[in-house]
């Protein structure tokens, strides 16, 4: 490697610029694929971006910690974005107030079913105790799930990954599943995806029906 | 725009402090969301500026999950060893939860005129 190229590499390896740029590029690539596939839920942009970035990290021998030095700026925006969910929530408050009891009951039932079926299935298939404990809290939002996982003896970052995968599965298949089950009520659809699939499902529904989002925000919280 | 961003961060900051000080099992941003909701209720509406900034942040919400998602690379060994059980658990529980919640909602919610979305 020539001297100037080497110096450029040393510079790039030391700044968060690469991780940040790579994240934005990978997501936009994933989104372009998603559009080209006629918005087929299987071509989930988040899934494509994650696989692409994981492959790049593996090939280039970059650690996740080094990548996260750049990606943390994107990750950080999750906080203000969560707070900003108050806006669509407020705009649709009337609907939620009229159905508050049903919303609470659905959140409770959905979360319990998610926990019991996740642990039950993994246990039947012989998963390790650590994996079971990492699966248990995946039906709450990522930061809470990580905290609970740590308390009960799971792996917090595995839990984080499982929450994301749950979100991708929910976002990918919810439309097919709810259509197959003949559930058309948009409130039931939005809320159920929010409970089971958290932010990714919510983010996807934002693109399809604006008014589903507040219900999902409630479930997500 | 600057005013709205500051407001969002203030809500989050207050939420983080409240969560830690009171030992609440809730993430700070979620408490921040409740505070922001309270502020909008106090204002009696969403002004154009707030709507614009919130819209911009939420338009690309799914991008914000990518960095955490790449964290799967830390657990490739566990996933390699137990992927059938993990995958089955994720699919079964996600499907069951979506159907259970949707059924509960449809059963309990008062019927709504504009369900034909």
Q: Which residues 41-100 of chain B have a CB within 8 Å of chain A?
A: 41, 46, 50-51, 53-55, 57-59, 61-75, 78, 81-82, 84-86, 88-100
Question: What are the contacts of A44-47 at 24+ separation with CB within 8 A?
Answer: A44/A168, A44/A171, A44/A172, A44/A200, A45/B62, A46/A164, A46/A167, A46/A168, A46/A171, A46/A200, A46/B62, A46/B63, A46/B65, A46/B66, A46/B69, A47/A168, A47/A172
**Residue A185 three-state SS:** coil
Shortest CB distance from B86 goes to which of A84, A131, A202?
Answer: A131
Mean pLDDT of B22-32: 80
**Chain A interface disruption, residue of B5, B40, B64, most A CBs within 10 A:** B64
Q: How many residues does chain A have?
A: 221
- Cβ contact (<8 Å) for A113 and B100? yes
Tell me the pLDDT band of B10, cut-offs 50, 70 and 90: very high
In angstroms, rounded to a whole number, what is the distance separating the alpha carbons of residues A130 and A62? Answer: 27
Mean pLDDT of A43-58: 89
In terms of pTM, does the model score above 0.80? no
Tell me the pLDDT band of B40, cut-offs 50, 70 and 90: very high
Those residues whose C-beta lies under 8 Å from the C-beta of residue A187, and which sit 6 or more positions away, are A95, A99, A212, A215, B105, B109, B112, B115
Residue B81 is predicted with a pLDDT of 87
- Cβ contact (<8 Å) for A173 and B105? no
Mean pLDDT of B87-102: 86
Neighbours of A68 (CB within 10 A): 18
Residue A44 is predicted with a pLDDT of 78
Q: Among positive and negative, which fits the CA dihedral A170, A176, A182, A183? A: positive
In angstroms, rounded to a whole number, what is the distance separating the alpha carbons of residues A105 and A83? Answer: 24
Paired tokens of A11: 């510079």
Average pLDDT, chain A: 77
Residue A209 is predicted with a pLDDT of 40
In angstroms, rounded to a whole number, what is the distance separating the alpha carbons of residues B103 and B8? Answer: 35
Determine contact, residues B98/A114, Cβ cutoff 8 Å.
no
Among A88-102, A103-117, A180-194, top mean pLDDT goes to A103-117
Mean pLDDT of A57-61: 90
Those residues whose C-beta lies under 8 Å from the C-beta of residue A176, and which sit 6 or more positions away, are A41
Residue A21 is predicted with a pLDDT of 93
Shortest alpha-carbon distance between residue A7 and chain B (Å): 27
Shortest alpha-carbon distance between residue A62 and chain B (Å): 11
- Cβ contact (<8 Å) for B25 and A144? yes
Tell me the pLDDT band of A202, cut-offs 50, 70 and 90: very low
Tens of pLDDT, residue by residue over A148-197, are 676 677 777 777 778 777 877 877 787 788 888 777 777 777 776 666 66
Residue A25 is predicted with a pLDDT of 96
Determine contact, residues B109/A154, Cβ cutoff 8 Å.
no
Delimit the domains of chain A by residue range: 1-76, 85-221
Paired tokens of A46: 């988040």
- What is the ipTM for the molecules in this complex? 0.82
Residue A207 is predicted with a pLDDT of 40
């Amino acid at each position: 490697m020539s001297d100037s190229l080497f110096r450029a590499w040393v510079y790039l390896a030391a700044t968060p610029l690469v991780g940040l740029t790579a994240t934005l590029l990978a997501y936009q690539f994933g989104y372009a694929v998603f559009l080209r596939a006629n918005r087929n839920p299987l071509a989930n942009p988040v899934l494509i971006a994650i696989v692409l970035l994981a492959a790049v990290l593996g090939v280039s021998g970059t650690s996740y910690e080094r990548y996260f030095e750049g990606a943390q700026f994107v990750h950080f925006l999750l906080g203000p974005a969560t707070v900003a969910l108050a806006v669509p929530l407020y705009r649709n408050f009337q609907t939620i107030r009229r159905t508050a009891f049903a919303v609470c009951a659905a959140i409770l039932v959905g979360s319990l079913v998610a926990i019991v079926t996740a642990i039950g299935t993994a246990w039947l298939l012989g998963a390790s105790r650590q994996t079971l404990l990492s699966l248990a809290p995946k039906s709450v939002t990522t930061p809470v799930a990580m905290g609970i996982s740590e308390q009960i003896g799971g792996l917090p970052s595995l839990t984080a990954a499982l929450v994301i995968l749950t979100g991708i599965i929910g976002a990918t298949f919810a439309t097919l599943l709810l259509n197959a089950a003949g559930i058309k009520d948009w409130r039931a659809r939005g809320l159920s995806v929010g409970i089971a699939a958290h932010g990714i499902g919510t983010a996807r529904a934002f693109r399809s029906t604006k008014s589903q989002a507040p219900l999902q925000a409630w479930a997500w919280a | 725009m600057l005013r709205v961003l500051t407001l969002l961060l203030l809500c989050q900051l207050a939420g983080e402090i409240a969560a830690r000080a009171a030992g609440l099992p809730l993430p700070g941003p979620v408490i921040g969301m409740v505070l922001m909701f309270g502020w909008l209720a106090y204002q009696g509406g969403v002004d154009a500026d707030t709507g614009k900034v919130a819209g911009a942040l939420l338009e690309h919400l799914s991008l914000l999950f990518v960095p955490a998602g790449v964290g799967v690379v830390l657990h490739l060994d566990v996933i390699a060893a137990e992927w059938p059980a993990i995958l089955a658990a994720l699919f079964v529980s996600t499907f069951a939860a979506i159907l259970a919640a949707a059924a509960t909602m449809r059963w309990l919610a008062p019927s709504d005129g504009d369900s034909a979305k």
